[in-house]
A and B are shown apart, each in its own frame.
Chain A
């Protein structure tokens, strides 16, 4: 197939792809995004190839390699069609049995099917797995069906049809109106109405305009964009072309963080193919619209995700934010009007054009429309990417989809919005999630990271972690952010190390206020949020650290001690061998003892002590003091 030069050709191509598609009796789809590959999907694919070849099944059984299926906990996983049998956590050695008994023998094998962590109930079919049940995978649904390296797979599933509609049936104004009517808001965190943003840039007068895709997904614990770029890159590209047409831009940039090598690779292939078939370049699909997209790799600076910094970085400069106004829509990249949207926002665009603003605006809440992808991580049973309609409650996400807290621990908080967001406590579990409710609770939607924390998580430590993060990533331009965050980290570190003083909480609050009001960009303006929300909901934990020099969650190293309970220890030598600093003494079948002076509190002994024994305990506060005293007395005697 050569360049597409009119809409009929696209349809003919689609028909041709469909007619050429082999009619397999069974198709095995392998999830192979970064998580999948890191967990060993590539050897599984090799094993499948080998086994099918050996059994001469290659003509009747197909293997398709796709991006992430979202259920990261069970990587590498496969789905066997048409039955949609879902097998997780596979190894190459499992493949011969699966091919023999399931693919050939139509038998469901219990050992590979999903087991609900709480009830033990098994689900053989993908549709029965509760993780997928409450999701609404409008954007990520095609991740099951598309080989991200194949443009044919995208075209087969109506890819570039939205672009056709726009180029040949709609004016720029009509496209903008459609997006405005859909109610789509920016998915990068701010939640600004996308259509309105486009309209402002459309109105700006200039000989050149740019559109940018912000794929610098730097929030730790968030990887929704990575999965879209890796799994369905053409949907983002198509969205950008439509946006460029609406705004009147001729050049586009995708700024993707370098920590995502697979996303970069798939984007490069997708851009090359899109150009080859005439969806990018001169006279797109035979129309009078010309548009190109360039790929720019980040270089490991979190602040690049801020829109003005990102543009400075594309220009080859340090990623320093600048004053707004003028907003990018008036003066952006190289001083020209620029429209910048996040990956997920762009991916929503073809969907809205294809199915219409009326349909789209029926999904979600009054002020937040559509679905949102969250990365559900931390101390949760079903870790993974979940796409849900706006307005779903946190409880539904964490318990119904997420399967509850790991190891039946107690839920403590969920952190949303990354370093700019905050921690939401158990009282707010029934909060229907949208941009506005989360803001009211003191957090933000952010890009969609959702980190679940259990009773073993120390909120002061978490606040210190985030402040330390923003402190390191502060570009240093504004004094309140550069010096203020440093002071906050110092205070928080002191508190976690047992040096907390009366008045520290007030100092933290005062600094927060100064940093929030005195910083230029979003990084500084939101940096204190993790401290402010933990102070709002978990103030007591701060006070315990400061007044009692105690860490109730048993996390802060300086405030805890490890101790081997003499009446529980069976003398198995496991902890002794695992100690990296030889702080444990003892012999086989004799009680082991930790030398408190040598112990570096790495927790290795705690981790290796068998679950039936649990002889290693952690202590804080008064109990810890009495143990330390006993320990030193014993040593003095010796």
Chain B
């Protein structure tokens, strides 16, 4: 861990950058990592905790193998985004923000992805699916279930 942190400067402005890299690398921010960052940047663990829970990008718990994101922007909202999110919850049997018991899927929402013309939009692991209706959800999830 110390080795991994070495490539970052020791100023507080690096904090969010470090958290981004850690989140991408490990899928979540563990207590051990918080301690290591605290030593590296010389700021308290509580401050780091405060910052990382403030932003949606970071998670304190491991996330699923596949991240399913449903867009909740205004354009998606008026075209049926909430129904898509609800159906996703039913199909995965979890609520938004949760991970399935087999660790396959984490369900999230996002405020707007800025591709409003093709809404409602669902993104799985960075792949965009456009004009999603309740009917299309099974087909999307099927690709990732195996």
Contact = CB atoms under 8 A, between A and B. Distances in A.
Real binding pair: yes
Nearest to A579: B134
Interface centre among B51, B114, B115, B133 (most CB of A within 10 A): B114
B87 interface: yes
A552 interface: no
B135 interface: yes
A328 B58 CA distance: 28
Contacts of B86: 600, 602
Interface string A334-373: 0000000000000000000000000000000000000000
The 9 closest A-B pairs by CB, nearest first: A72-B117, A223-B114, A300-B56, A38-B128, A299-B55, A316-B15, A383-B117, A220-B73, A221-B74
Given A259-B110, A297-B20, A300-B55, 5 more contacts: A38-B121, A300-B56, A316-B15, A318-B51, A383-B117
B14 A465 contact: no
Contact of B74 (A35, A220, A319): A220
Contacts of B77: 220, 465
B140 interface: no
B12 interface: yes
Contacts of A580: 87, 90-91, 134
B35 interface: no
B68 to A, nearest CB: 15
Interface of B: 11-17, 19-20, 41, 50-51, 54-58, 72-75, 77-80, 83, 86-87, 90-91, 110-119, 121, 126, 128-130, 133-135
B135 A604 contact: yes
B56 A222 contact: no
B12 A300 contact: no
B51 A316 contact: yes
Given A378-B75, A451-B75, A73 B14 contact: no
Contacts of A35: 115, 117-118
Interface in A132-191: none
A226 B55 CA distance: 21
9 contacts: A38-B115, A221-B112, A300-B55, A318-B54, A377-B119, A378-B78, A475-B54, A580-B90, A602-B86
A100 interface: no
A602 B134 CA distance: 8
Contact of A603 (B11, B80, B119): B80
Contacts of A219: 112
Nearest to A225: B114
Contacts, number: 151
A285 B117 CA distance: 41
A322 to B, nearest CB: 15
Contact of B116 (A296, A301, A375, A469): A375
A258 interface: yes
Given A299-B20, A377-B117, A465-B77, A220 B111 contact: yes
Given A220-B72, A299-B57, A318-B54, A39 B130 contact: yes
B83 A603 contact: yes
A462 B86 CA distance: 18
A316 B15 CA distance: 5
A315 B121 contact: no
Nearest to B43: A316
A259 B113 contact: yes
B133 A607 contact: yes
B90 A299 contact: no
A258 B19 CA distance: 13
A451 B110 contact: no
A377 B116 contact: yes
Interface in A227-248: none
A218 B112 contact: yes
A37 interface: yes
A301 B56 contact: yes
Interface centre among B15, B72, B111 (most CB of A within 10 A): B111
A404 to B, nearest CB: 16
Size band of the A side of the interface?
A: 35 or more
Interface string A458-480: 00001001100100010100000
Interface centre among A75, A375, A462, A602 (most CB of B within 10 A): A602
A261 interface: yes
A258 B121 CA distance: 17
Nearest to A418: B74
A457 B110 contact: no
Contacts of B118: 35, 38-39, 72, 75
Interface string A286-299: 00000000001111
B112 to A, nearest CB: 4
A608 interface: yes
A324 interface: no
A220 B121 CA distance: 13
A378 B78 CA distance: 7
B16 A299 contact: yes
A451 B41 CA distance: 44
Contacts of B112: 218-223, 259
Contact of A34 (B20, B114, B129): B114
Contacts of A524: none
B111 A302 contact: yes
Given A465-B77, A578-B135, A580-B134, A221 B116 contact: yes
Contacts of A449: 74
B117 A75 contact: yes
Contact of A316 (B14, B73, B111, B129): B14
Contacts of A221: 73-75, 112, 116
Interface centre among B116, B118, B121, B133 (most CB of A within 10 A): B116
Given A35-B118, A318-B50, A377-B116, A218 B111 contact: yes
A466 B74 CA distance: 8
Nearest to A472: B111
A607 B134 contact: yes
A301 B54 contact: yes
Interface string A481-520: 0000000000000000000000000000000000000000
A314 interface: yes
A56 interface: no
Nearest to A406: B79
Contacts of A226: 114
Contacts of A462: 78
Contact of B16 (A220, A302, A313): A313
B30 to A, nearest CB: 18
B134 A604 contact: yes
Nearest to A451: B74
Contacts of B11: 316
Nearest to A456: B78
Contacts of A222: 112, 114
A453 interface: yes
